[in-house]
Structure 1
Amino acid sequence: MTSVLKSIRSSDLLFSLVRKRRTTHKLGRERTLQKDTITGILRNALLVTPSSFNSQTTRMILMLDDDNRKLWDIAERCLEDVCGDNGVPPDTKDKLEDFRGANGTVLFYEDREAVSALRSNPKFTTFAQYFNSWSDQTNAMHKYLVWSALCTEGLGATLQHYNPLIDQKVADEWQINRDWELLGQLVFGKPAGPIKEKSFLPMENRLIIHDEKQEKSG
C-alpha cells in the first residue's frame, strides 16, 4: 500500500479532493458535520489562503440553525420589497426554502477599511489602484477553499450572491461592522438531491503552452 501511495503524485491527491466540489441546491437539515469541524475548516482557510502583502482582509461569519433560517427569511423579505405586486418567482421561493432548510451559511466579507489603509499606505503607492481587485481575488480564494473542504467532508454547497440586496438588513440584525462588504453566501448541508453532470470546454481553447526548447527543436 505504501509503495502505491508513493507512486501517486501529491497534486493528484489534491485534485482528487477538489473534484468533489460541486454546486448542490437541494440541501437537507440533518447535521452530518459537527460545528467544531465546520469552524475548523473556516479557521484553516483564513490561515492558509494568500492575500496581497499578507493583508488578510477577508472576514467570515457562520450562520447555523435558527440564524441560518433568519438569514434566508430576510433575503425573502428583501426580494418581496423589490418584486412588489408581482411577488417572488416560485422557483426563487423554492430555492430560498432549500437554503432555509440547510445546515448553515458562510457569509464572506471584505474589510474595506483594511483595504483602504493599504491604498493610503505610502509604501504601496505604486499598487494603490489594484488593492480593491486583489482583495476580491483573495475573497474568492477563501470561498473556493471553504467550498472544497466542506464537499470533501461529504456536504453539499451552493455559492449565492444576494448581496447587495440583503446587506443592510443583515448588518442591522447581527450588528455587523459597517466597513465589511458582503461578497457572497455559501449555503451548505447534507446533499438531498442529484448533482448535475459538469460539462467542459475543449482544453486547447483554454490552455496555451509556450515551450522555447520545443519550438527550437521543431
Structure 2
Amino acid sequence: MSHVIEQLRTRRTQYALGKNVTLSADETEALIKEAIRLSPSAFNSQSSRAVILFGAESEKVWSLIGAELRQIVPAEAFAPTEAKMKSFAAGAGTVLFYEDQDTVKGLQENFPLYAEAFPGFSQHSAGMAQLAVWTALAEKGIGASLQHYSPIADAALAKAFNIPASWKLQAQMPFGSNEAGFAAKDFIDDSKRFVTLGK
C-alpha cells in the first residue's frame, strides 16, 4: 500500500480536541507552512494564505464566531452551537485559510483567455492546501476538522487579526490532540463513483 494512501487514511474529522499535542507550536507552525507551500496552484500562483493561531488567539477565533452566530441562531436553539464552539476552542490551535484575491485578479489580467476560470482555480488551490495541512497534521497524530463559517465571521476575524483586505476567508481548521477515537468510515459503491476505460 502506498505511504501516501496510508497517510490519507489517517485524515479524519475530529471534534473531540485537546491541547495535548506532542509537537511544539514552532514545529506545528513549520509543518502547516510547509504543507501549504508544497500544495499546487494554477500557474504556480501560490494564492493560498493562512493565519495560524495558538492558545488564547485560537480561542478568540471561536469566541468571535460564536458571537456572530448568537445574533442569528435563536436563543432557545443556541446550546448545540455553543457546545461546538467550545469543542473547537478546546484544541491547541486553529488555521484560518484564505485566498488572495489580488493574486486571482492579477492572473485574470495577465491571462484574459482564462479570466472566468481563475476564481475556480483559486478554490481548487484552497482545497488542496486544506487537504495537505489536514493530512500532515493527521500523520503527526494531531486531530482536526474543516469548518466553514464564512461569510458570517469574516469581518470580525479580519478586524481582530488585521487581515489584509485582499484575503478572502475560505475555511477554518481547529486542531489539537485526539481526545476520542474514530468511527468506521463508510464508502459508497465504486460503481457509482468511478468509470475506468481502456485497460
Q: How does 1:163-174 map to 2 (within 5 A)?
A: 163-174=150-161
Paired with 2:106 and 2:76, the residues of 1 have a C-alpha distance of 42
Match runs of 1:4-83 below 5 Å: 12-83=2-73
Structure 1 counterpart of 2:99, from 110, 113, 135: 110
Whether the 8 Å CA contact 2:142–2:178 is kept in 1: the answer is: yes
Deviation at residue 206 of structure 1 after TM alignment? 1.1
- Give the TM-score normalised by the residue count of structure 1: 0.87
Aligned to 1:63, the other structure's residue is in SS state: strand
Equivalent position SS for 1:60? strand
Give, in angstroms, the shift of residue 116 of structure 1. Answer: 0.8
Determine the structure 2 residue equivalent to 1:6. none
Does residue 128 of structure 1 match 2:115? yes
Structure 1 stretches lacking a partner, 5+ long: 1-8
Aligned to 1:3: none
One-letter amino acid of the counterpart of residue 125, structure 1: P
Once residues 45 and 193 of structure 1 are traced to their aligned partners in structure 2, the CA distance between those partners, rounded to angstroms, is 25
Where does structure 1 differ by over 6 angstroms across 4 or more consecutive aligned residues?
A: none
Distance in 2 between residues matched to 1:152 and 1:189, nearest whole Å: 13
The answer to whether the Cα contact below 8 Å between 1:80 and 1:87 also exists between their aligned partners in 2 is: no
Opposite residue 14 of structure 1, the aligned amino acid is V
Structure 2 counterpart of 1:146, which letter?
V
8 Å Cα contact 1:20/1:152 also seen in 2: yes
1:207 aligns with 2:197: no
Between the two proteins, the alignment pairs up a number of residues equal to 199
Instruction: Pick the structure with greater CA Rg.
Output: 1
- The whole-number CA distance in structure 1 between the counterparts of 2:127 and 2:99 is 10
From the two aligned structures, give the one with the greater helix fraction. 1
Q: Percent identity?
A: 31
- Once the two structures are TM-superposed, the CA of residue 90 in structure 1 deviates from its matched residue by 1.8
